[in-house]
């Protein structure tokens, strides 16, 4: 698993014959591309501050006059966006923590304890990677229905944890495999238990892996649509992406583009903050997580 390094970059030809003129061209092109990729997100934020009559007019002299947070105030006071935000936070945190715990245990077991059938266990976990949940919506729906997990946020968390397991197991298995064995052996000699060793001795070295699993799973759950759309059926349990569909279809009366844009910004800001703050962990997860879509 090649982790994409964000810090240490192997020197390439760029440094060799890159004079200041070449650098200037590079920066110019880079800034233009940055506007192409990040500009629309900034624009979305500005649009979210316009009122509806400004949004539905082509840009003109008055487009930036009287910007306000009114759209945000409305969706949080007149529409149940606190509820949606809470639901999204709950299932995403639940998914992230649940996945971190389960993949830490499984990764530790697979990396450090050689047992007959470990190959089979790993292969079974890989099945979750090879099968798209989109193809299993109906059997999972019927099965969850039997256990009362439909329209149940716990059910969605279980679903999220399972389909994010494979990448987490990869990350945690590699994390434990890269920790020197001597540390553990010393702990065993001192009579520490398996779990004791995991928590006291291995924890500091396993934390980057755990961080990778958590941030990656959190964002995967936060942005997930089809599962939440299928398994949560009542409005009070909906997550942000599904609630936004309601806004765009006019479930709360007439379609209001301002609310839709403001709601979208609410849903994208945590992604941007988490990514920028914890980029290193995210990118490490991508290499392993790229095994799934």
Partner 1 sequence: MSSHTATLRTEATAIHSTGGRRTSALARRRARTGFILTIPALILVTGVVLVPIGFAIWISLNNWPLFGDINFTGITNYLKIFQDPIFLQSIGFTLLYTVVVTPPILVFGYLLAAFVRSNRPGTRIFRTLFFLPTVVGLTTLSFLYYVELRPGFGLVNVVLGALHITDGQTAWQLNWVTALFAVSALVVWFATGTTMMLLLGGMQSVSAEIYEAALIDGANAWQRETRITLPLIKRNVAMALVLSVIGSFLAFQQFLIITDGGPGTQTTTIVMWVFHKAFVDQQVGAATAMGVVVMVVIALLTSIQLFVLRERDSQ
Q: Pick out residues in 57-116 that bind partner 1 (CB under 8 A).
A: 57-59, 101-103, 105-106, 108-110, 112-116
Query: Could you say which residues in the range 26-45 bind partner 1, by CB under 8 A?
Result: 26-27, 29-30, 33-34, 36-38, 40-41, 43-44
The answer to whether residue 186 forms part of the interface with partner 1 (CB under 8 A) is no
Q: Name the 3-class secondary structure at 129.
A: helix
What number of CA atoms fall less than 13 Å from residue 133's CA on the CB side? 21
| CB of 57 or CB of 68, closer to partner 1 | 57
| CB of 83 or CB of 248, closer to partner 1 | 248
Work out how close the CB of 82 gets to partner 1 at its nearest, in angstroms, rounded to a whole number.
Answer: 18
- Of the ranges 71-79, 82-90, 201-209, 244-252, which one interacts with partner 1 (CB under 8 A)? 244-252
Cβ(171)–Cβ(285) below 8 Å: yes
Among residues 147, 89, 31, 27, which one has the least CA distance to residue 270?
Answer: 89
- Which of 64, 186, 245, 277 is close enough to bind partner 1 by CB under 8 A? 245
The answer to whether residue 19 forms part of the interface with partner 1 (CB under 8 A) is no
- Of the ranges 64-72, 83-91, 199-207, 218-226, which one interacts with partner 1 (CB under 8 A)? 218-226
Determine the distance from the C-alpha atom of residue 209 to the mean position of all C-alpha atoms in its chain, rounded to a whole number.
15
- Of the ranges 4-12, 64-72, 87-95, 203-211, which one interacts with partner 1 (CB under 8 A)? 4-12
| CB of 30 or CB of 62, closer to partner 1 | 30
Q: How many CB atoms lie within 10 A of CB 249?
A: 10
Give 15-59 as a DSSP string: HHS--HHHHHHHHHHHHHHHHHHHHHHHHHHHHHTS-HHHHTS-S
Work out how close the CB of 111 gets to partner 1 at its nearest, in angstroms, rounded to a whole number.
Answer: 9
Token pair 């440094």: residue: 15
Token pair 């200037």: residue: 24
The answer to whether residue 207 forms part of the interface with partner 1 (CB under 8 A) is no
The answer to whether residue 250 forms part of the interface with partner 1 (CB under 8 A) is no
What letter would DSSP give residue 4? P
Query: Could you say which residues in the range 117-156 bind partner 1, by CB under 8 A?
Result: 117-119, 121-132, 134-143
Give 214-254 as a DSSP string: HHHHHHHHHH--HHHHHH--SGGG--HHHHHHHHHHTTTSS
How far apart CA 250 and CA 234 sit, in angstroms, is 16
């Amino acid at each position: 698993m090649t982790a994409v390094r964000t810090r240490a970059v192997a020197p390439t030809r760029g440094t060799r014959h890159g004079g200041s003129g070449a650098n200037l061209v590079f920066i110019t092109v880079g800034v233009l591309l940055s506007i192409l990729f990040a500009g629309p997100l900034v624009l979305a934020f500005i649009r979210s501050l316009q009122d509806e009559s400004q949004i539905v007019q082509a840009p003109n002299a008055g487009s930036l006059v009287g910007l306000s947070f009114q759209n945000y105030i409305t969706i949080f006071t007149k529409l149940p966006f606190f509820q949606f935000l809470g639901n999204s936070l709950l299932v995403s945190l639940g998914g992230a923590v649940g996945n971190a715990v389960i993949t830490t245990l499984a990764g530790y077991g697979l990396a450090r304890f050689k047992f007959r059938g470990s190959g089979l266990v790993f292969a079974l976990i890989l099945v979750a990677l090879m099968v798209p949940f989109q193809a299993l919506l109906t059997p999972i729906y019927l099965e969850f229905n039997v256990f009362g997990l439909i329209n149940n946020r716990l059910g969605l968390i279980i679903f999220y944890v399972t389909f994010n397991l494979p990448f987490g197991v990869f990350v945690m298995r590699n994390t434990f495999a890269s920790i020197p064995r001597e540390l553990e052996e010393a702990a065993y000699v001192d009579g520490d238990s398996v779990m004791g060793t995991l928590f006291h001795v291995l924890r500091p070295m396993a934390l980057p892996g755990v961080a990778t699993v958590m941030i990656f799973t959190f964002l995967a759950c936060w942005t997930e649509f089809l599962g939440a759309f299928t398994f949560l059926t009542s409005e009070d349990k909906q997550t942000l992406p599904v609630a936004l569909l309601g806004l765009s279809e006019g479930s709360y009366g007439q379609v209001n583009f301002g609310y839709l844009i403001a709601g979208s910004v609410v849903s994208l800001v945590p992604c941007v903050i988490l990514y920028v703050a914890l980029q290193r962990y995210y990118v490490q997860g991508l290499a392993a997580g790229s095994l799934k879509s």
